[in-house]
Structure 1
């Protein structure tokens, strides 16, 4: 067996030099977007003081980003397939640089909120386009598994790095640098990307070569030769408005209360619109209109099972960071910067999990990888229920978050493989849009859900007990993902309906 393993490693395909450069450019962009999501969290009190924004309005800084980032991702994934991934990627980066500069120079709350919304819009465009560029540049197999593992590792590490960087920039310089730090990075990627990204319609990615024909002799991503059917406006409106209503309702629940009539109305509207989306796509196909998501893609077993698993993976780990931040700052009375630094071990765990994931997939398959990662994450998260009101409990918190980060990243890489494998290149943007939408929803709804659990349990038993109940609920959601993973195919390409 060891001889076979060594032989397999010896013959494993290696990325070309240009593929490596392309991967670096895409990973830097995705890391920057992940940092951008969390870098302002620690800076919110300083922003409120600097712009005279009341405490109860501060959550809208996060909501202004989350609404377009979650609500428009799927639409932009489809636009990337139809009109060019390279074009959308570059335009999104340019918008991100401009929005970050505007936010850093803002002297009025309305301008800052507009800048944050523009950052969310840029994220909705760049993330699915970048993921589709990555998956089409690397063939299915070890190379793609390695690339997605690194992408997932740096993405999760970016969330952690954002919290640390936000504290450092706010304490040492100003909260404005939480915005401005994006500008030079985005400009550097904009300068490098056109040299290495394949032109829209180039099938062979960074290696170059002949264009790939698709139906009717048309080339992918060419505005003149691509799919000439009208985009499904009804389906796009249904899913976009549904996601916007859902995110806005969840954000409002934390500010107005879960029983507020406006919150209930928004949540019901969002649920109804999202439930109607599959039917809207089937009607679009019958009318010869290009659906936002081809119904055949929605019927795939990997999509039906993989996206709920991905949703739970992102929801549980990001909301766990919120719960542990409450414990560190409100129970142990750590400073914001000290709390952020405590999550450095979580970032290290996600990096290790992402780099190890391709080897785990090669040995255990996708289902085995998701099961192993989910069980490890569940065990590590469950252990945190024991946390007590003494700094000595860091001896449990640090190793548990490290191991949980490894397990969570194994689940995320397995999810990304199921979401993007076994599909023609012309559908990679749509698949990436679905996966990214799942990611954004999980990140967005996790904190409000766990905050509601804490709020329900804390009044009767105290904040530490409320946090413990929420951590137990978080563990139960991870186990639900593990249960769903038992039905995944062993290999992502086996996921046809």
Structure 2
């Protein structure tokens, strides 16, 4: 750890660490913001490029598919080539891709830029998580730091919905990407001053490039096949994912050891996450279209209409650690699924000419509360039984599953809505999402772990409220690694 010269060295060192945390969190805020910042702008983008709703899904899923598919590889590259180096490279790629997205002359260019943004996330996020773990080696302060980082990430998801409407109506939809550039430039200028240079590294395990390629290409083929109604592409996607399992079973240094795929508790948590994330992504996407295309809100009003969603989400997040401490992650996740199901059930009855206060707001609040409680409880369950050595892999798998599940669900359910058309299509998509969430609850009830009574004196607040844990395959650094970095 570097201590700046002058009197009061320890406080200055703490100041530097907090400044580093703020800088890393700033970029993560932008990365999370870009998951949702396109939502309210989608009708405007569709009108500009004369694109149907099913094609517009790529503007959302292109980012999350590539980001989720390459996340584990990004962590391994970070281990191999250095944390600061990969953070700067990922941030730079994210900035360039954002500039290209904002200037895109057509929809294919915009989608390609979103792919590149996802690749930037896959490099920067694991590096940032690992840098935080190194800067805060003591377990309690590390948990607090990662909790702040994760909470700011959730804030980015929420802010994206609000800013999308404000920017689209008051400026131009292209600025939803353009705002990333100056902020990321600030990050790039300050990072070398705050983050120590990477220490020399010894020999590292080789990269599982075939596994990473299969994990990215499989979902891409699936989504393409679903969106374009192309059975050969769907079959190819399934075959690629099956090949991924075979490769991971045979390689000496897999991205995902098969133990993480077959461990019952973690497998159930990740499987349920797929279904919940699919439902949540669909709700975000379709509600923004319903508010503008059916109720008649403009982009600004549609963005502001999500303020109650934000309030319900943050209220749920503020209570989830206490719930987990009181009743356990399994029951807490079931509560989250129940609230989500109630919200989706309300939205599945959307009328052809609806009212925001009566027909949208109650369902929106239920989905938001279910999201805040359910996803964080499932993240907790996905780390069941992990050790210091494999926590990074477990968290990386969970984050990838979250993003890939949301992308696949969005492709399937928006496809359903588009095929049927009109508000009837919206209702059918929400009904299918509700069915998936109910199925997830049944799986959790039947196959999930039984919650044990918390140990006496356990601190429920020690559960990370932001869902962030030491990074995907970048792993929590061991003591030797911390010492090497501290000497840099």
Is TM-score (shorter-chain normalized) higher than 0.5? yes
Q: Indicate which of 351, 358, 361 corresponds to 1:398.
A: 361
Name the residue aligned to 1:245: 221
Taking the aligned partners of 2:329 and 2:266, their CA distance within structure 1 comes to: 14
* Offset, 1:405: 1.0
Taking the aligned partners of 1:320 and 1:434, their CA distance within structure 2 comes to: 24
Determine if contact 1:105/1:176 at 8 Å carries over to the other structure: yes
Taking the aligned partners of 1:292 and 1:479, their CA distance within structure 2 comes to: 31
Determine if contact 2:211/2:244 at 8 Å carries over to the other structure: yes
Taking the aligned partners of 1:421 and 1:84, their CA distance within structure 2 comes to: 29
| Residues 296 and 97 (structure 1), Cα distance of their counterparts in 2 relative to 1, 3 Å cut | same
Taking the aligned partners of 1:271 and 1:369, their CA distance within structure 2 comes to: 32
Determine if contact 2:265/2:384 at 8 Å carries over to the other structure: no
Taking the aligned partners of 2:37 and 2:303, their CA distance within structure 1 comes to: 10
Determine if contact 1:385/1:469 at 8 Å carries over to the other structure: yes
SS in 2 for 1:231: coil
Does residue 310 of structure 1 match 2:310? no
Residues 356-395 of structure 1 aligned to structure 2 (within 5 Å): 356-392=319-355, 394-395=357-358
Taking the aligned partners of 1:297 and 1:321, their CA distance within structure 2 comes to: 30
Taking the aligned partners of 1:99 and 1:147, their CA distance within structure 2 comes to: 29
| Residues 407 and 264 (structure 1), Cα distance of their counterparts in 2 relative to 1, 3 Å cut | same
Name the residue aligned to 1:225: 202
Q: RMSD over aligned Cα, in angstroms?
A: 3.4
For each residue in 1:204-258, what CA deviation from the matched residue of structure 2 results, as whole angstroms up to 9, or x when unmatched? xxxxxxxxxxxxxxxxxx663253x3333433333232233223333xx2xx3x2
For each residue in 1:15-74, what CA deviation from the matched residue of structure 2 results, as whole angstroms up to 9, or x when unmatched? x87765555444332221121123234435555676xx4425655544553452233223
Q: Indicate which of 401, 408, 416 corresponds to 1:438.
A: 401
Q: Indicate which of 29, 32, 43 corresponds to 1:31.
A: 29
* Offset, 1:316: 0.9
Taking the aligned partners of 1:414 and 1:108, their CA distance within structure 2 comes to: 40
Determine if contact 2:330/2:381 at 8 Å carries over to the other structure: no
* Offset, 1:177: 1.5
* Offset, 1:109: 6.3
| Residues 60 and 327 (structure 1), Cα distance of their counterparts in 2 relative to 1, 3 Å cut | closer
Q: Indicate which of 220, 233, 243 corresponds to 1:276.
A: 243
Name the residue aligned to 1:185: 183
For each residue in 1:459-487, what CA deviation from the matched residue of structure 2 results, as whole angstroms up to 9, or x when unmatched? xxxx3333223222212212222233331
Judge which range, 119-128 or 393-402, deviates more: 393-402
Taking the aligned partners of 1:246 and 1:121, their CA distance within structure 2 comes to: 19
User: TM-score normalised to the size of structure 2?
Assistant: 0.77
Name the residue aligned to 1:8: none
User: TM-score normalised to the size of structure 1?
Assistant: 0.76
Higher relative contact order (CA 8 A, sep 6+): 2
SS in 1 for 2:322: helix
| Residues 49 and 273 (structure 1), Cα distance of their counterparts in 2 relative to 1, 3 Å cut | closer
Name the residue aligned to 2:231: 264
Residues 34-433 of structure 1 aligned to structure 2 (within 5 Å): 34-44=32-42, 46-47=44-45, 53-55=49-51, 60-62=58-60, 64-106=62-104, 112-133=110-131, 153-194=151-192, 224-227=201-204, 229-250=205-226, 253=227, 256=228, 258=229, 263-285=230-252, 290-392=253-355, 394-420=357-383, 422-433=385-396
Taking the aligned partners of 1:198 and 1:418, their CA distance within structure 2 comes to: 34
Taking the aligned partners of 1:157 and 1:345, their CA distance within structure 2 comes to: 14
Taking the aligned partners of 1:20 and 1:33, their CA distance within structure 2 comes to: 20
Taking the aligned partners of 1:474 and 1:133, their CA distance within structure 2 comes to: 37
Judge which range, 469-478 or 54-63, deviates more: 54-63
Determine if contact 1:43/1:167 at 8 Å carries over to the other structure: yes
Q: Indicate which of 396, 414, 418 corresponds to 1:451.
A: 414
* Offset, 1:426: 4.7
Does residue 484 of structure 1 match 2:482? no
SS in 2 for 1:55: coil
| Residues 372 and 130 (structure 1), Cα distance of their counterparts in 2 relative to 1, 3 Å cut | farther
Determine if contact 2:223/2:408 at 8 Å carries over to the other structure: yes
For each residue in 1:74-105, what CA deviation from the matched residue of structure 2 results, as whole angstroms up to 9, or x when unmatched? 32233234444443223211211222234334
SS in 1 for 2:449: coil
| Residues 446 and 151 (structure 1), Cα distance of their counterparts in 2 relative to 1, 3 Å cut | farther
